[in-house]
């Protein structure tokens, strides 16, 4: 009977190194018992099986001793040294190689992405744990045994195994991509080989289910109840069936506990082992399936050809089909849609291979919303990347990624996006992302199709909750304080960022009309974002207009009486035509204007409407060859002032143009002034620009020097406002010109004109004519206008 059992089986089970023994001792004994059970089914007595396993363990130990002695003798006789087996990649290497695919860490039902930067081998141990259970090598647990009574399988924390159906495809795509470094490629190839060896590369959809299993509460109560705690492990059953219980998936329900689990059953019956009862079962393998041997063939191609070449046209086509930005399309086609760890950016070699700048990666990801629930928690990226692999393994080298299939998955799961100019989108994120009101990419797309954007067309009923916060009782997205602030800030920024004639700038009047229509909603309340002392405000405000059960209203201002320091809100429908109310002055006495108050005032301001409107044709000069022109160019918007400045100071008109931009605009960097004038696009334009700056620098109208983040070398004399990023620092003399300035802070997160640029030039020049010109002896920061003009 003993001859029926190969000691090599026992040796392979028992052969653990010193560092593995502590963790693998119990696992090894279980596997050896499984070998005895499989090869000697006629032995049914448990004690006899244990005795046979003990004899086999002793034989395996003796065989190892003999093997080591023979190896040493052979080496001594032949003078040769046995080639060492190549070390398997450790968890730290694999984690780094898999970064961005969303499969690292403990993500079962909790959607966390934790990383393991240590030199352990939990990932490979987990593969073998699953593989041995799948092949029936692991000893089935006795009937009635709970997973809670089994030792914890720490390796289950190593990866997010809800992505197991797409894991092999993700690993293959990353391994075959030209931008993957050789060290990571070798690790990924080894991982793919192990998945194949453990029969986990291709999953049979009929053999896997995602289930919920219930245990009755009586198991945890009474004299015989065990002191169970939630743990992660594998519950091996008969015939290659097993249940995986990830960490932290238990829920307490009436009369028991429910556990989320993964159930593998080759029979397809998925009968819950007693005392568990099946609550629900859902398909686990739901996406693309692969033919047996596909990944083996892929590895052969990779070994023979090396990484697949980069196909730039594939990324361009993916961007065209989905509407995402070209930068994001390159990242997706290269297999790196998410960088899960800010401390480990996309490798420089990858970015170089696919033609992406490091500074654009974070902006591209944020613009698309890669960290949102829509992407991070739904398996969208895993499905999209899996679809990039062609039907034939060799296709990745001959034809490139299957971007049509991947785009179909993206558009079905996410929806095709409205394409946006990448430079405008990236600049918007850099300038406005810190405001956190309305994501710039979403707002831009909403601006381009106002009629289809519910946040600009759908009214909600708002009320004060707990004295501090606003809540709506409507379903779905709609208009509120954040959309008001985000829309006004973005509209003002776009009017300054884009030239007249740009198609995005052309929609701004429609956006303003939609905002004004929403402000007519009698159930709209706008948060002012400040707290006030209730009693002191009531004394200052006088008699209330209306008193309710838990609020008082003073004109358009509504204040909760449920707390001593509530956050007042405004009912916009009750504001005067200028967007104000006498009681607002009592609220903001000695305080900075809030974003909500600033937005409401601007929406009612005719000057703001004129800023967003089409500027028409230039007063002088012409549009450029694309039909565009910049009102920031004084020569085309206020040519009369250019002549006045030139005559007053005895300088040329080109120098006067540069001076007016320095005098009035918040961001007259060398790059911006060149863009606004358009001179550098003309023959001799660069020399013309240099000459104008040199002529101006020779006067006492400006000082020449270098200042941090200024982007220019000419400055008005006087104080300097050190604005924080992303704003460009500027002269203090200009602060009163801008409604959006408050001290040295931006009330709406942007510092741009809120009226026509031509009017701004005239206001700045009038100050000069009135004797208030920039001076070196300026020491105090001018108090900004509160903007109630």
SS (H, E, C) 4-40: HCCHHHHHHHHCCCHHHHHHHHHHHHHHHHHHHHHHC
pLDDT at residue number 64: 62
pLDDT at residue number 699: 95
Q: Count of alpha carbons within 13 Å of 577, Cβ hemisphere only?
A: 1
| 22, 82, 220, 243 from 77: Cα distances, Å | 36, 13, 64, 51
Instruction: Give the mean pLDDT per block of 10 residues along the chain (789 residues).
Output: 45 41 45 72 77 74 64 57 60 84 51 47 90 91 90 81 88 93 93 94 96 90 70 90 85 88 95 95 91 94 95 96 93 77 71 88 79 64 92 95 96 90 90 84 93 94 81 86 95 96 96 96 90 81 85 88 86 90 75 85 95 96 93 97 97 97 96 94 90 96 92 93 86 87 75 95 96 74 43
Q: How far apart are CA 211 and CA 262, in angstroms?
A: 6
pLDDT at residue number 378: 66
Handedness of CA 170, 176, 182, 187 (dihedral sign): positive
CB 598 within 8 A of CB 740: yes
In 306-402, where does DSSP find H-type helix? 312-322, 326-333, 348-354, 358-368, 373-376, 380-388, 395-398
pLDDT at residue number 42: 78
- Indicate the Cα dihedral angle 513, 418, 367, 675, nearest 10°: -70
What is the 8-class DSSP label of residue 334? T
Token pair of 414, please?
Answer: 């996410």
pLDDT at residue number 128: 93
Q: How far apart are CA 674 and CA 153, in angstroms?
A: 64
Phi-psi domain of 270 (left: phi exceeds 0; alpha: psi -120 through 50; beta: other): left
pLDDT at residue number 358: 85
CB 612 within 8 A of CB 495: yes
User: What backbone torsions phi and psi does residue 611 show, to the nearest 5 degrees?
Assistant: -60, -45
Q: What is the largest CA-CA distance in the chain?
A: 114
Q: How far apart are CA 326 and CA 181, in angstroms?
A: 23
Q: Burial code of 185-208, b = ≥16 C-beta within 10 A, e = fewer? A: bbbbbbbbbbbbebebbbbeeebb
* CB atoms closer than 10 angstroms to residue 545: 15
What number of helices (H) and strands (E) belong to the chain? 31, 19
Closest CA to 687 of 674, 701, 702, 668: 674
Residue keyed to tokens 């490629």: 185
The DSSP H or E segment spanning 410 is helix 403-413
Q: How far apart are CA 64 and CA 76, in angstroms?
A: 18
* CB atoms closer than 10 angstroms to residue 410: 24
Residue keyed to tokens 């971007």: 403
Residue keyed to tokens 């070699």: 349
């Amino acid at each position: 009977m003993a001859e029926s059992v190969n000691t090599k089986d026992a040796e392979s089970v028992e052969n653990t190194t010193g560092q593995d023994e502590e963790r693998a001792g119990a696992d090894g004994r279980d596997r050896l018992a499984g070998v005895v059970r499989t090869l000697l089914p006629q032995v049914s007595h448990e004690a006899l099986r244990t005795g046979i396993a003990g004899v086999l363990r002793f034989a395996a130990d003796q065989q190892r001793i003999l093997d080591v002695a023979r190896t040493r003798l052979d080496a001594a006789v032949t003078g040769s040294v046995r080639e060492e087996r190549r070390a398997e990649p450790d968890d730290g290497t694999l984690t780094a190689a898999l970064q961005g695919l969303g499969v690292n860490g403990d993500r079962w039902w909790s959607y966390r992405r934790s990383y393991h930067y240590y030199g352990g081998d939990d990932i490979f141990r987990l593969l073998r744990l699953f593989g041995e259970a799948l092949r029936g090598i692991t000893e089935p647990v006795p009937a009635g045994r709970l997973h809670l009574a089994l030792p914890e399988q720490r390796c289950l924390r190593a990866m997010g195994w809800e992505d197991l159906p797409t894991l092999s495809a993700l690993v293959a795509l990353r391994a075959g991509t030209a931008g993957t470094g050789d060290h990571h490629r070798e690790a990924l190839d080894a991982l793919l080989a192990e998945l194949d060896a453990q029969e986990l590369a291709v999953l049979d959809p009929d053999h896997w289910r995602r289930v919920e299993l219930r245990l009755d509460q009586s198991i945890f109560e009474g004299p015989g109840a065990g002191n169970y705690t939630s743990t992660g492990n594998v519950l091996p059953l008969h015939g290659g069936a097993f249940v995986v219980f990830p960490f932290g998936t238990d829920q307490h329900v009436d009369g028991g506990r429910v556990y989320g689990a993964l159930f593998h059953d080759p029979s397809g019956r998925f009968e819950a082992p007693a005392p568990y009862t099946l609550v629900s079962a859902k398909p686990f393998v739901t996406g693309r399936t692969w033919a047996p041997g596909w990944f083996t063939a892929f590895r052969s191609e990779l070994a023979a050809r090396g990484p697949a070449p980069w196909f730039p046209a594939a990324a361009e086509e993916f961007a065209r089909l989905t509407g995402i930005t070209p930068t994001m399309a390159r990242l997706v086609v290269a297999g790196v849609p998410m960088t899960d760890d800010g401390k480990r950016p996309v490798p420089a070699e990858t970015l170089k291979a696919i033609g992406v700048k490091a500074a654009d990666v974070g902006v591209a990801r944020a613009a698309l919303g890669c960290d949102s629930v829509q992407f991070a928690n739904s398996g969208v990226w895993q499905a999209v990347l899996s679809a990039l692999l062609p039907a034939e393994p060799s296709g990745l080298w001959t034809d490139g990624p299957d971007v049509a299939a991947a785009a179909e998955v993206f558009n079905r799961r996410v929806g095709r996006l409205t394409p946006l100019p990448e430079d405008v989108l990236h600049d918007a994120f850099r300038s406005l992302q810190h405001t956190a009101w309305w994501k710039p990419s979403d707002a831009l797309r909403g601006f381009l199709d106002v009629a289809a954007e519910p946040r600009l067309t759908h009214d909600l009923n708002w009320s004060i909750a707990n004295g501090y916060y606003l809540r709506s009782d409507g379903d779905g997205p709609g208009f509120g304080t954040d959309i008001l602030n985000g829309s006004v800030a973005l509209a003002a920024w776009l009017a300054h960022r884009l030239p007249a004639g740009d198609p995005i700038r052309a929609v701004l009047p429609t956006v303003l009309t939609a905002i004004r229509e929403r402000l007519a909603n009698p159930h709209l309340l706008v948060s002012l974002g400040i707290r006030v002392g209730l009693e002191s405000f009531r004394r200052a405000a006088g008699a209330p207009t209306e008193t309710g059960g838990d609020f008082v209203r003073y004109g358009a201002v509504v204040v909760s009486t449920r707390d001593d320091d509530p956050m007042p809100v405004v009912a916009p429908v009750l504001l005067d035509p200028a967007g104000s109310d006498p009681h607002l002055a009592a609220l903001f006495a000695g305080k900075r204007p809030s974003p909500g108050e600033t937005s409401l005032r601007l929406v009612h301001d005719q000057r703001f409407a004129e800023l967003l409107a089409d500027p028409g044709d230039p007063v002088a000069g012409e549009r450029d060859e694309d039909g565009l022109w910049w009102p920031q160019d004084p020569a085309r918007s206020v040519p009369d002032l250019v002549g006045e400045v030139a005559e007053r100071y005895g300088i040329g008109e080109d120098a006067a143009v540069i001076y007016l931009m320095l005098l009035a605009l918040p961001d007259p960097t060398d790059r911006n002034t060149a863009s606004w004038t358009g001179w550098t696009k003309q023959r001799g334009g660069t020399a013309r620009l240099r000459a104008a700056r040199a002529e101006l620098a020779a006067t006492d109208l400006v000082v020449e020097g270098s200042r941090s983040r200024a982007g220019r070398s000419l400055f008005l004399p006087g104080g300097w406002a050190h604005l924080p990023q992303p704003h460009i620092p500027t002269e203090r003399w200009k602060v009163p010109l801008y409604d959006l300035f408050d001290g040295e802070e931006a009330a709406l997160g942007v510092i741009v004109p809120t009226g026509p640029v031509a009017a701004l030039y005239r206001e700045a020049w009038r100050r000069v004519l009135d004797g208030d010109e920039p001076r070196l002896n300026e020491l105090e920061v001018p108090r900004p206008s509160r903007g109630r003009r």
